Every structure is written in structure tokens, then in C-alpha cells.
Structure 1
Amino acid sequence: MKIFIISTFALGLYIIFDLLFNDQMWDANTELTVYLQENQFQGEKEIFLFFSYSLFAMPGIALIAFLFFNNKLGALIYCCLVQAIFAENSVLKNIYHQARPFFIENKIQPFECNKEFGKPSGHAMTSSAMCFLIPYIIFPSILKDQQNQKSPLYLKILIMFVLTIWTFMTGFSRIFMGVHSLGQILLGWVYTAYNIIIYLNYFHNPIMNYIRQCLQPGSQGISNKVVSAVGLFAFGWTCLSILFFELNNRIFLDEDVINLWLDALYNKCLNQQTHYNINSPQVLHNICLSLSLYIWFPFSFLLGVKLSKGIYNENQFRIHYKLLTFWQKLFRILILLILLSILIPIIFIQFQNTYAEAFGKFLTISILGGLFITVVYSNILSYFKLEVDGDFLQVSPQITSNPEGYKESELGQIVF
């Protein structure tokens, strides 16, 4: 309870601070960004671009962990959390509906042309979450001593130092590139810090233990009530997203101002061929609505866990994986990559209506992504006899988890 109160109080204080000093931080950022862009040293742009784009390497680490390590559940929970923070950032952007610096500051040039609102920074929120959650969730033995393995203190300090520097450089790169202000970056870090503190202290262990228990041989599966509760949360989140989208669409946004922002996007971005308008699904409040629907991925994952009727023996995978031939290992990888590649054509579908874009593309990707990784992948491995003991959702005709479900009271002790 104490951690929750202190964290929430600190978040509230910073939100007030951000509102009071927003203009001052914006002006300071404009001076800083103009100075950085006008006084570049050779290779500086490439360095910052590296840190900005390194964000996309983190899901690859989760994919590798899912394919080759014991903690497959941790890798998937990590992906669910990142998607949830991505969805949270999109709703927050529609609440703040603040421009990116290059939209309105003539002297600032964009080195990347993001089209949604700027506050809070999506890179700041997701990169900090991705960096700091990797050792806590995917590789917990690094920071938390195990029974037969104790990580040296210097290694823990070194890892946290690298993660901190990496997160800082990612945020600072966005300022240099002209796509975020200092206030937008700081606010993104604050929101993610709050999310991580609350999740790790109150939710992570109960959720992990519950799913592990549900997937033990002979145990009962995920409760219908738990799946329904998560689905209801995703539905409520979607309604909230639509509410702020419509408020922006009908009340808060001035079309003349938005056209000036979009003019800047078209004129400053060399590769921008389309001159968008306020109703284009790819920009501002429209794309924020679409991205907020990534909240359905955690629901899809949980639903897939229930539908698969598989089991999960966490500590057995690496032992049995070594017994596979090279070609069996290769086929396992290819099957998952092929499944994920099926989603790629959906990404390139262009809808002319925002709701069609949101529900036809982003909701579809979120639902199919979770089901492919859980139900479809596990059943294909079983069909081709490529699964091994310790696989996440191992399908076995002899031993499966009971789909009727654990009692919801056994989810764990989530106490504030």
C-alpha cells in the first residue's frame, strides 16, 4: 500500500509540474534542438539514429528468448506489457493532443517524420519499459539471485548503468531529431516508471504464478472469469480511446491549426509524398486511436492460452531442446516466422476511414498475433512432432490442462 500511495502521489506531482512549466520546457527545448541541429559533429546524426531505432531490437530479444530459453512465459508477458504501454501512450497522446516540435517551430527540422501527437513520447515510454523489463522479466536471474546461481554485484550495477544510459540516449535522440520536446520525453519516462513500479510490486508474481499453476500437467486451465475480466478491460479501454478520439475530432482540435501542422509535415519531410488532412487515418488523433487497440494483444494471448489446452513445464525445455536435430530446430524457427509474416500484408492495407483502419488493421493484428503465438504455433509443432518437453503450451493427447479453469480466487494475492 505504501509503494502505491507514494508512487501515485509522485506521479500526480509531476503531472502538475508538467502542466505549470510546459511552456518553459518547450522554449528551452526549442533552443536546445536548434543548437544541436546547427552544431552537429561528424557522425552525430548516425549515433542518434542508432539509439532511436534500437527500440525495434528489443522485441527481437523477446523472440529469441521465446525460441531458445526456458522462460518462454516471461518473454510473452514482456510482449504483452510492451503492447499495453504502447496502447497507454496512444490514449495519453489523444488526451494531451500536443504537437511535435517540428510541426510548429520553423527552425527545427525533422530527421524522422512521425505523424501522431508528441506528448508523451512513445519512444520514451516504450524504450524505458523495454530496457528495464528485460532483466526483470525475461532474464530474472541477472538481477535476482537464484538458489544455485548468484550474480555478482558489479554485474548488476553494470547492467543497470547500461540500461539507464541506453534509455537516456534514446530519449535524447528524439530531441535531437526534432520529433519530441524535453517535456514530452520526461513525461514519458515518468509514466513508464510508475507503470513498472506498480506492475512489478503488485502484479507480476501473482500473474506469473497463476499462469504457471494453470498449465501444470493435470491442473485446471485459465478461468473463464479471468479471460472475461481481461476482455472487459480491453473493451473499456477501447471505449475510452474512442471517447478521446471523438472529443478531439469534434471539440478540441482546430482544423486550421491542424492543417498548419500537416503542412509542416509535408513540406519538411523529404520523403513525404502524401499531403494529409485532418481526417486521414494515418495522422494525429486518428492514428492514436488505432495504436491504442494494441491493448487487445494481452487479451488475445490469454485467450490463446486457454484455447490451446496445453501445458508448460518451465525448467525442462533446454534439456530436451538439445536432443533435437539441426533441421528440427530450424523448422521450429521457420514455422513461427512464417506465422508472424502472415500479419505483414495486413500492415500495408490502407483504409480511408479511421474506424476501418483501427478495427480492420490494428485490432486484427493484435488478435491474430496473440492466437498465432499460442494456439496455432503449439498445434503446428504438435502436428509435425517438433514440440519438446518444456515448450510453452505443449500439446499432448495424454496430458493437458483442464479448460474449465482455476478459481479466480487463486490468481494470487494482489494486495495494495
Structure 2
Amino acid sequence: MSGKYYYKYLFVFTALTFIVISELFYSNPLYKYSEEYILSTQYSGKFESSYFKFLQALSYIGENETYAISLIIAFAALHRTRAFYYIFSVNCIVGIQHILKAIYHSPRPYMRVEEIIPKSCSSSYGHPSGHTFQAIAYLLVIWFDYWKNKPAHKYHSYKIAKFTSLIFILAFSIFMGISRVYVGVHAFNHVLYGWLLGVWMAIFLHFCLRDRIINHIDILLRYKNRDNLRNSGYDTQYWLALASLYYFGSLTLYFGSFIYAQMTFDIPEIWIERTIKKCGSPPLSASFEYKTFVSAGYPIIVYISYIVLLYGSNFSQREQQYKQLERKETLGSLVIRIVIITLITSPAWLLFLYIPKNDNIVLVFLFQSFVPSLYCGSILFKYIDLIYAFININLVPEWQIKQIIDNDESDIDQNDLQRSLII
């Protein structure tokens, strides 16, 4: 590891240490204050006020379906290298918050205080706030990535747009956190911790992993067949082992945190009673640490997608990209790509949305998270491009192609291979 990366990683993990340790000092005081604050807002007509409806709308925007839709758009609008990075990032963001909820097993305010009436019921543990964590982390990942790819200008309007978009993201995520407290499902310490961890997560993904992941995937896409890749000195077995380590390591974290919560903490009966009373008896698979168990099916999408990229036939993507320059990109092309992706992934959507969320957590794990993720990972980086090529539609927008069209496998040298190493 070079000195530059050493200091970068040192800074990032020092910041993480500070965030985790500082949480120990403000957690309890902020939680107690949150209970008092939420009770003070339990006035008559609260749920009919415009302010409440605005905050509740923010809560709905933060649901997992929003991120799934954004990934469909990203896959239709971005080059495959960046699309994979977005899928990887969302998987990490979603996974971390589920794992931490099981580890901290902190109750939501309505579970501890009888008088608190939640409007947007969530029956899993509350620390950190998943909505806040996911909102700030994902939006910052997009912000960092967008401005890195957009050529820098000295124009005043460029700087204003960059600054304004950042302010919007910060304000949106803060209001998202406030909304979760206002509806009674989170305490302020949940929100603050989620916000700080989300900022850290976005910085870690962008500055420590992004370029290495994108360079690595770009090299895989440059080759027309795997023999050429292996003959270049690129050890595919090594990368398969590294990907397997990531996947089984993530499973260990998911199931390990679930087992840890099961073995070290007995859920108080009063929490269960209040959850049932106020949230209408939610299924076991959506409650407490059991939701972490169910979510362990999501990482397979990254693992299978990568295996397809590593070993699957690319049907000469580079040739298709050259042909694409002869076709004009239109808004209709983008819409067609979105429709195709939506239709092809619809079996996964149907499973996710309509498989009953009952008390059989293994069944829900298989058919709500694992099988849909496995299916999407198997088709996204292979069959969709084949369909695009068959109907003679652009694989990705023209401006994305022009950024990478000068790179093909003849351009690859050992420096490219070294830069793609993910240490």
C-alpha cells in the first residue's frame, strides 16, 4: 500500500473510531430528551397538520423501494463500471445499518413509552436510523461520483451548482432524520449516529474504494474473452477468491450480528406488547433482529454480478460500444432501457413485494431477499446487454461511451492492473 493510501485509510478509520466512541457519551442523554420531545408533540390534530404530512412524505421516500428504483435508472443511464459501483455501494449501505441495528438492539421510543403514538411503524431495532443513514450515504455517493465525472470549470455557475446541490443533500437528510423522530419511531441519538455514519460511509466508499472498483471492472469489460484476460497475467482465481471472501464475510456479519443479539439480549415483553398494540402485530421477519437475518440475502447480487463480469461472455461489448457511436442517443433510448430493465427484473420485484412477510424467517429470507437478488445479479450484467444489442439500441448513453471508448484491451498494461487492485 502506497503512502498516499496509507494516510487516507488512517484518516478514514480514525474518523470512524471517533464517531463510534463519541456515541457512547451522547446516546443516553439524547434518547431521554427525545422521549420528552416526542411526547410534547403528541397534540390533538398532529397527524392532520401539513408539517406532519411533509415529514411523513420524507419517511416514505426513504423506503428500500426508492433505492431499487434508483438502481434501475442508474443501470440504464450509466456505464457498467459505475452501475456496478452503485449496486455495491447500496448493498454496503443497506447491510451496515441492518447489522448495526442487531448489534446495538436499541428500542424505538414508542416501545419504551406507552404514551408515544407512532404513525410510521417500524418494528425492528432503531439504532442507527436506517432512513437517515441510507439517505445521506447514498446521496453523497451520487454527489461525489457525479462531480468527479463532470469536468471541472472555473465558471461561477459551476461552483454554485456544486455547492447548492451539496446543501440540498445535507438539508434533505437532516429533515429525513427529524421526520423519523417526529413520527415517533426514532430518537435523536439514532438519527445523529446514522447521519454521521452515513457521511463516513460515503467518504469511505468514494475515496477508498470507488476508483479501484471502477478501474477493475473496466478492465474486465475491455476483454472480448476470458482467455485474453488470463493471458494478460490477470489472476481470475485470485479475484474470485477475493469476491468470495467479501460475500461470505458479509454473511458472517449478518448472521453473526443476528446470533449475537439472540444470545446476549432478551427482548422485554413490554416492547413486544407495545409493538403489537401500536403497530398491529407485525410479522416476525420484519421485527427486531429478525429483519437483519432476512436482509442477509441481499449481498448475493454483488457476488453473482461480479462472477458474471469475471467469467461471463461479454459478447464483445467493446465492439457494441464502437457501433453505438453511429447511433444517436435520444430520451426515448433511455426510456426503452428503463422499461427493459424493469420488465426483466420484474420477477424479483414480484417476489419482493408479494411474498407474504410471515413468521417463517427462513422462507422470507429465501424469497424476499436471496432469490430476487440472485436473479438480478445473474441477468443484469449479461442478458440485458444482449437484448440491447439484439434490438439495436445503445447499451448506455453516448456521453458515457465517449468517456471510455478510447480504452480497449490493447491499451491495458501492468499499471492498469496494479491500479485495479483493491487492497
Q: TM-score normalised by the shorter chain: which range applies?
A: 0.7 to 0.9
Letter in 2 for 1:284: F
Report the count of equivalent residues: 393
Q: Does 1:374 align with 2:381?
A: yes
How far off its partner does 1:309 sit? 2.1
- Which protein has the bigger helix share? 2
* Corresponding residue to 1:266 among 257, 260, 276: 276
Q: Does 1:49 align with 2:94?
A: no
Q: Does 1:364 align with 2:371?
A: yes
How far off its partner does 1:206 sit? 1.5
* Corresponding residue to 2:266 among 241, 254, 257: 254
CA distance in 1, matches of 2:308, 2:164: 38
Task: Check whether the contact 1:206–1:412 (CA below 8 A) recurs between aligned residues.
Answer: yes
Task: Check whether the contact 2:136–2:198 (CA below 8 A) recurs between aligned residues.
Answer: yes
* Corresponding residue to 2:239 among 219, 226, 233: 226
* Corresponding residue to 1:178 among 179, 184, 188: 184
Per-residue deviation, residues 105-157 of structure 1 (Å, max 9, x unmatched): 12221111112111111111111112111122256345x527x9997211111
Letter in 2 for 1:296: I
Letter in 2 for 1:122: G
TM-score (norm 1): 0.82
CA distance in 2, matches of 1:50, 1:318: 41
- Residues 220, 23 of structure 1: alpha-carbon distance in 2 compared, 3 angstrom cutoff: same
Letter in 2 for 1:379: L
Q: How does 1:106-121 map to 2 (within 5 A)?
A: 106-121=114-129
Letter in 2 for 1:357: V
Letter in 1 for 2:193: L
CA distance in 1, matches of 2:317, 2:135: 29
Task: Check whether the contact 2:39–2:115 (CA below 8 A) recurs between aligned residues.
Answer: yes
- The aligned counterpart of 2:31 is 26
CA distance in 2, matches of 1:370, 1:150: 42
CA distance in 2, matches of 1:104, 1:160: 36
CA distance in 2, matches of 1:371, 1:2: 37
* Corresponding residue to 1:284 among 285, 288, 291: 288
Q: Secondary structure at the match of 1:171?
A: helix
CA distance in 1, matches of 2:215, 2:155: 21
Task: Check whether the contact 1:216–1:401 (CA below 8 A) recurs between aligned residues.
Answer: yes
How far off its partner does 1:170 sit? 0.9
Task: Check whether the contact 2:329–2:397 (CA below 8 A) recurs between aligned residues.
Answer: no
- Residues 315, 163 of structure 1: alpha-carbon distance in 2 compared, 3 angstrom cutoff: farther
Q: Secondary structure at the match of 1:106?
A: coil
Q: How does 1:140-179 map to 2 (within 5 A)?
A: 140-142=148-150, 145=152, 152-179=158-185
* Corresponding residue to 2:138 among 124, 130, 144: 130
Q: Please list every run of 5 or more consecutive structure 1 residues that lacks an aligned counterpart in the other structure.
A: 394-399
- Residues 329, 12 of structure 1: alpha-carbon distance in 2 compared, 3 angstrom cutoff: closer
* Corresponding residue to 2:348 among 343, 354, 358: 343
How far off its partner does 1:44 sit? 0.7
* Corresponding residue to 1:101 among 96, 100, 109: 109
Task: Check whether the contact 2:348–2:373 (CA below 8 A) recurs between aligned residues.
Answer: no
Letter in 1 for 2:102: N
* Corresponding residue to 1:85 among 77, 80, 93: 93
- Residues 389, 281 of structure 1: alpha-carbon distance in 2 compared, 3 angstrom cutoff: closer
| RMSD of Structure 2 on Structure 1 (CA) | 3.4
Percentage identity across aligned positions?
18
* Corresponding residue to 2:308 among 304, 308, 315: 304
Letter in 2 for 1:176: Y
* Corresponding residue to 2:298 among 273, 287, 294: 294
CA distance in 1, matches of 2:331, 2:116: 55
Per-residue deviation, residues 335-384 of structure 1 (Å, max 9, x unmatched): 21111211123223235432333244312122212222212312333344
CA distance in 1, matches of 2:162, 2:329: 33
- Residues 266, 321 of structure 1: alpha-carbon distance in 2 compared, 3 angstrom cutoff: farther
* Corresponding residue to 2:211 among 205, 209, 213: 205
Q: Please list every run of 5 or more consecutive structure 2 residues that lacks an aligned counterpart in the other structure.
A: 1-5, 402-407
- Residues 22, 324 of structure 1: alpha-carbon distance in 2 compared, 3 angstrom cutoff: closer
* Corresponding residue to 1:11 among 3, 10, 16: 16
Q: Secondary structure at the match of 1:374?
A: coil
How far off its partner does 1:390 sit? 7.1
CA distance in 2, matches of 1:238, 1:61: 25
